[in-house]
Amino acid sequence: MKRSKSVLFALCLGLLGFVGTLVGDERPNFLIIMADDCTYNDLPIYGGQNAKTPNLDALAKRGLTFNQAYLATAMCQPCRAELFTGQYPLRNGCSWNHSASRPTTKSLPHFLRRLGYRVGIAGKVHVKPAAAFPFDPVGGFDPNCVRQPTRTHDLGPVRDYISADKHETPFCLTIALVEPHVPWVMGDASQYPPKKIRLPKNIADTPETRKHYADYLAEITYMDEQVGEILTCLEDSGNAENTLVLFTSEQGSQFPGCKWTNWNTGVHTALIASWRGHVASGERTNALVQYADIAPTLIELAGGEPVADCDGQSFANVLLGQSKNHRDFVYGAHNNLPEGPRYPIRSVTDGRYHYIRNLLPDEIYIERHLMGGGRLNNPYWATWVGANPVQRPDVYELTRRYIRRPAEELYDTANDPFEMKNLIDSSELSTTRDTLRAELDSWMKSLGDPGAAVDTVDALQAARRGEHLHGPETGK
């Protein structure tokens, strides 16, 4: 983030009086509700034309919706590690899915317990090692995102954890739902007739795709119903008045071009904040924020001091209506192992223009879950590859877009949110392109990111052993 020390100092002074009132019993509780693999603009609050989400719609009406919220890596484990630690993937060590953060990593339980908070998690955890993420385990929600079907949830343990009658200390509770992660088997798909669905521009229109997209939409509605039950539980707890609620959709869905990519429908996330009397109701903000900023924000609102080695910075001033801006840039990093052969990607956006660098563009992109078939992987991909390229050039072009990518991409996401037109060679955007190129180089250098050398079997296996070969801790 590019911001002068004087500006930061002024912002800190502006918040000093407010933060001072949060000490003791007035400190807010924090409730983070996470969806799983939900593309942000499939939700009606971000322009989605299909899904029914009355509870999220209601939450947005009484809260602040972030138009420009992002995560660094569009995979479950790295993005959760980023959110909980306030660090980018390469710094906390979780640079691949199904890997691990550095053993010395600190996270929300460390940061907030020292301030007197109980810090728990219910549902899907998917971060490790336990020493780096020592959450209180809270039951009631299925931790397994690929169980078929998802276990019926029980709000009893959550009710006990957040009850004002049972606890005098504030809480920070993450409820990590497992919908709409595949397999798409929950909810009522009959309310989404496949022929009536409006598919996004980056999704090929085949009958099999429409069928599975309907199943996915049903899971979004099922997820929304859970959100409604959780918020009702909060109302009944006695703590609703002094709880900051954050809802986020995590990364994009398991459709080509969403999850496991640095495209906008992968790294752009939904974020809604609601806190009565503190956060404005029914408003939206264009402030640019990233998952790494959430932990510093909670720490500040809890009355704590900034944490060393934190990549994010608090956006409490945006929540409180004291600023309309936050970051100048947000960043993305994808390493494809073990989800497929190595295919490292880096990216940066200023909120409108999105620059993507594919570090091994001569390779073809393969994601084994989406493209490999099997029990948990919906078979629509075969209908993309099997479509007649003469009769269905539209399907061919979307298939080609997914597996063969240029060295550089540049998109105007304000006018092209599905990033269908690459503007990298536009002379009119040469200054923007050069600025974003330089910014990405600077970010990678600051993290000791060697690029393609991170996305190797040796580096992944070392991380799984707790030995991280790259990043700012080792300087390698």
**Per-residue pLDDT at 131:** 97
Q: Is the peptide bond before 129 cis (omega within 30 degrees of 0)?
A: yes
Q: Roughly what angle, to the nearest 10 degrees, separates helices 76-85 and 294-301?
A: 30
Please name the residue ranges forming H helices in 147-202: 156-162
Question: Phi/psi zone of residue 213: left (φ > 0), alpha (ψ -120 to 50 degrees), beta?
Answer: alpha
8 A C-beta contact, residue 93 and residue 105 = yes
Chain-centre distance for alpha carbon 403 = 23
8 A C-beta contact, residue 312 and residue 294 = yes
**Per-residue pLDDT at 5:** 35
What are the C-alpha distances in Å from 372 to residues 339, 340, 375, 377? Answer: 11, 10, 10, 7
**Per-residue pLDDT at 473:** 62
Cα dihedral 282, 284, 285, 291, rounded to 10, equals: 90
Burial class (CB in 10 A: 0-12, 13-18, 19+), 377: middle
Three-state secondary-structure class, residue 378 = coil
What are the C-alpha distances in Å from 91 to residues 108, 126, 259, 397, 475? Answer: 16, 18, 22, 37, 11
Is CATH 1.10.510.10 the classification given to domain 5-327?
A: no
Chain-centre distance for alpha carbon 233 = 24
Chain-centre distance for alpha carbon 286 = 17
**Per-residue pLDDT at 7:** 36
Please name the residue ranges forming H helices in 279-336: 294-301, 316-319
The one-letter amino acid code at 306 reads P
What are the C-alpha distances in Å from 352 to residues 64, 120, 190, 271? Answer: 20, 36, 37, 17
**Per-residue pLDDT at 176:** 98
For 386, residues 6+ apart whose C-beta sits below 8 A from its C-beta are none
10-residue averages of pLDDT along the chain (476 residues): 37 39 68 98 98 98 98 98 98 95 97 98 97 98 96 98 95 98 97 98 97 97 98 97 98 96 98 98 98 98 95 98 98 97 98 98 95 75 95 98 98 98 98 98 97 96 91 61
What are the C-alpha distances in Å from 356 to residues 164, 261, 284, 433? Answer: 47, 10, 27, 10
Q: Is the peptide bond before 338 cis (omega within 30 degrees of 0)?
A: yes
**Per-residue pLDDT at 8:** 36
**Per-residue pLDDT at 373:** 66
3-state helix, strand, coil in the chain (%, to 5): 35, 15, 50
Domain locations in the chain?
5-327, 332-464
